[in-house]
Amino acid sequence: MSATAKRQSKSQQINFRVTERQVDVLRRAAGATDSTLTDFVLNSAVDQAEKVLADRRWFTVTQMQWDDFVALLDADLPSATKFKVLRGRADVFSDDE
């Protein structure tokens, strides 16, 4: 977690019930990672949530929306002149002169 995220004020609260086994596993895992139970659960939940959201690959569109999307992909670029000029410049991250 970034330093900025750690310094932000936490104004929201989440409450949920767990079994004795679940809390035992979570406490042992938190201890193994030298984290508090709250930090371990919150970091694990946020990590999983970010993975779920990043993995969304299925989008539903109408046939008209799909046709418009494909037309945009198939259309010629208005002009590639700026890209050609940019490509011709020296790479600022390269040691080549």
Q: Would you say residue 50 has pLDDT above 60?
A: yes
Q: Rounded mean pLDDT of 74-82?
A: 86
pLDDT, tens digit, for every residue of 1-47?
555 556 788 899 999 999 999 999 999 999 999 999 999 999 999 99
Domain assignment present for 48: yes
24: CB partners within 8 A, 6+ apart: none
Distance CA 66, CA 73 (A): 11
Residue 72 in 3-state DSSP? Answer: helix
Regarding predicted confidence, which is higher, 19 or 53?
19
Distance CA 39, CA 34 (A): 10
Split at pLDDT 50, 70, 90, the class of 57 is: confident
The residue range of the domain holding 37 is 14-88
> By the 8 A CB rule, do 26 and 41 touch?
yes
The domain tally of the chain equals 1
Q: Tell me the CATH number at 37.
A: 1.20.5
Q: What is the pLDDT of residue 88?
A: 87
Domain assignment present for 27: yes
pTM to 2 decimals? 0.52
